[in-house]
Amino acid sequence: MFADLLLPMFDDEYYPDILVAEVKQHIERFAKKVAKADVSEQEIYQHAHDAVAEINTMKPQFEDLDSSLDDTAADYIAEAMMMIVQEYGYFDIEMEELIVNREW
């Protein structure tokens, strides 16, 4: 459904594909939670924060491979999450709030 999620990160050699694929899995799990009927905006933000918390734990893995979860990665991740929420009809979600708990 969201085959193009994080495509810019996959295309950028700075980000290891294996780790980007793992980030994508976290975002796909977020998408499945958002897809459930009658999800409130508060629940969407909570699911997003849970996904970002999982991605936060990957920071050392990126650093071990001479990469990082930098501001550009944050933009790509936030944009992917916004694509998901908008696909399911949630247009009042704030992009920055989705990743507010990022630690990179």
Break the chain down into helix, strand, coil percent, rounded to 5.
Answer: 65, 0, 35
Token pair for residue 31? 């998408």
Residue 1's pLDDT is 61
Q: What's 3-38 look like in SS3?
A: CCCCHHHHHCCCCCHHHHHHHHHHHHHHHHHHHCCC
Tens digit of pLDDT at every position of the chain (104 positions): 678 899 999 999 999 999 999 999 999 999 999 999 889 999 999 999 999 999 999 999 999 999 999 999 999 999 999 999 999 999 999 999 999 999 98
Short-list 71, 65, 67, CA closest to 103: 71
